Structure 1
Amino acid sequence: MSTINLNTQCLCKKVSINVAEAKPHIDSCHCAICRKWAGGPLLAIDCGTNVNFEGEDHIKVYNSSEWAERGFCNQCGTHLFYRLKEANQYIMPAGLFDSLDHLDSAEFTTQIFIDEKPAYYDFANQTKMMTGEEVFAAYSQE
């Protein structure tokens, strides 16, 4: 699978991010924690492990579970990442990256924790759907 390079900044421009090897597909998480954090389903891109930050003194991290943490700018509140601790893998909100808006190859491919999705919304896109149990089974094998 090919990867793409992405660059962005938070709203106040105190934090800059360079992603060297993002996977060019968008996924959505419907778990209760992501919905609370994002204010709705989290639309995100897998940015892998090769992520560099400038302005790290402005990044605040919240340990949201035993296996993951979430980072945000302590000045403007921009949500910056969901990081899997053991793999050092960054999952980042797709909305951070303006360049994705114009990238024809970026596709919405997978929805996870579909069993936690509330009934008041549905995406029209045809995607792979995974329950929480399926997500934990698939990623615990990796």
Structure 2
Amino acid sequence: MHRKLSEAGLRNRIKLIATGKMVNPAGVAAALCLGADVVCSARGFMFALGCIQALQCHHNTCPTGITTHNPKLQRGLDPTDKATRVANYADAIKREVGLIANSAGVMNPSDLALHHAFSVGADGAPVPLEKAV
């Protein structure tokens, strides 16, 4: 999408937001390399809160108390503890994406570009992602 928007002269007018299973620093860094301006990680923050993927969100019966209005189920949700866990997750993602950016030779994750990304070929050798996209 980044390349197509750039070719059409629209990239400076449109922001790209990457979402969907952006849980770990490698995924976030890859999205930035592919041209994302912003990365959203709802799933990562749900895990940091203690989500166990019981798939009960839409039934109002979440056993961890995260996605329910039932006071009995919410008792297991300690805001003080969860705030610390969420803050730790956010800090770790920020720090580790920064380390990946530094390893690629840039000072800021927003400076990551497609030429910084590689995938692993069938023979185990690195393949520039530029050739795959």
* Greater fraction of residues in helix: 2
TM-score (norm 1): 0.21
Structure showing greater relative contact order (alpha-carbon pairs closer than 8 Å, 6 or more residues apart): 1
**Greater Rg by CA:** 2
